Amino acid sequence: MVGVGIAGFVTALAIALALTPLVKSFAIKIGAMDVPDHRKVHTRIMPRMGGLAIYAAFTVTILCFMPWLPDSFLSDHDESLIRALLVGGTMIVLLGALDDRFQLNAKLKFLVQIAAACIVVFGFDIQINLVNIPFGSAMQPMGDWLGIPLTIIWIVGVTNAINLIDGLDGLAAGVSGIAIATILVMSALMGQSSVILLAAVLLGGVMGFLHYNFHPAKIFMGDSGSLFLGFSLAMLSMLGFKQITVVSFVTPILIIGVPLSDTFFAIVRRWVQKKPIFAPDKGHLHHRLQQLGFSHRKTVLIIYGIAAFFGACAVIQSVASSSGMGNWVTFIVICVLLFLLQIGAEVIGIVDKTKRPVIDFINRLLLRQQANTRSK
């Protein structure tokens, strides 16, 4: 099982390393170029559509490996998962590639994403069908009336979350790679052969592309890459760990905590500022870190560190769950992370640069304690 994963990783890595320069030439030839504007950080016209290299590395490797896998390696459900990922992923990457070239309407992109999610659910019968009652003893079945819309919302939401953080060289690829590596570790601990193979191959494709995408980037992944990675992460995080006996979605939320939290704060920020929810701005995590004086490379590395911290929390929470302490550990992890997220958001001003309610409250408590100490 581990050997297949390593072979898949190396194969996808080699294909991505070989294909990315060819994709770059193709993007330049057809005019799929990213032109700087007031919202973007880069100052040079750059080729995009690099996601085609990641997609090709992933798809070619999986299709080459599947015929040689023993029957015991993949169950019928595993094969359905892989087919759903390939079909839905193909729709998503084609959508992204067309957007990289022609700048498609946002509503059209959203509708195609919903269509891809619906194909996964209705075409391959892949959906969330179990839920855990907090501090309960077992997973409970979830009816289609709730499971189907929840699955579609999850796929579309995560797909767009990765797209929103694609603002600096190597940022979306690196954060996605950390999330995929987290899934790989957890699937290895749980002995899920199909998820190990998919995660290892996808990680290889991402790492091969990142060689050309890390600062200073030679090519951007574009929507073809960010949407495909988001879709793949949504599928793997949902399907790989739905059976863990913890509050539903805690583990996958931790795995992709950076893009999801950045998306959440973006929505809150625009609501507070009375701007349209989908209006682009320069208030995302990477923008604020750069505005605080961090260089391009340091900003990316800081966010890598945050993503790795989320991934480590996911692994700890998963291990604790398997030992019977999952509910309490989950509760503690959620409380600590929510506190740290709020403090971090206030420090960097990701929602509002002037309002810091929690920090101000803590400062008032400290001043009151100092005053009481002096009076004694």
Which residues does the annotation place in the binding site for Mg(2+)? 163, 223
Cα angle at 179 between 172 and 295, to 5 degrees? Answer: 40
Question: Could you tell me the end-to-end alpha-carbon distance of the chain, in angstroms, rounded to an integer?
Answer: 66
What's the sign of the alpha-carbon dihedral 18, 164, 90, 36? negative
Per-residue H/E/C for 113-131 = HHHHHHHHHHHHCCCCCEE
The Cβ of residue 58 has, within 10 Å, a number of other Cβ atoms equal to 28
Residue positions forming the annotated binding site: 163, 223
Q: Which residues pair with 141 in a beta bridge?
A: 130
Residue the block writes with tokens 């971090």: 344
Amino acid at 8: G
Which residue pairs, CB below 8 angstroms and at least 24 apart, start in 245-250?
Answer: 245/132, 245/138, 245/139, 245/321, 245/326, 246/132, 246/317, 246/321, 246/326, 246/327, 246/330, 247/132, 247/134, 247/327, 247/330, 248/128, 248/130, 248/131, 248/132, 249/154, 250/317, 250/330, 250/333, 250/334
Torsion angles phi and psi, residue 366, rounded to 5: -65, -40
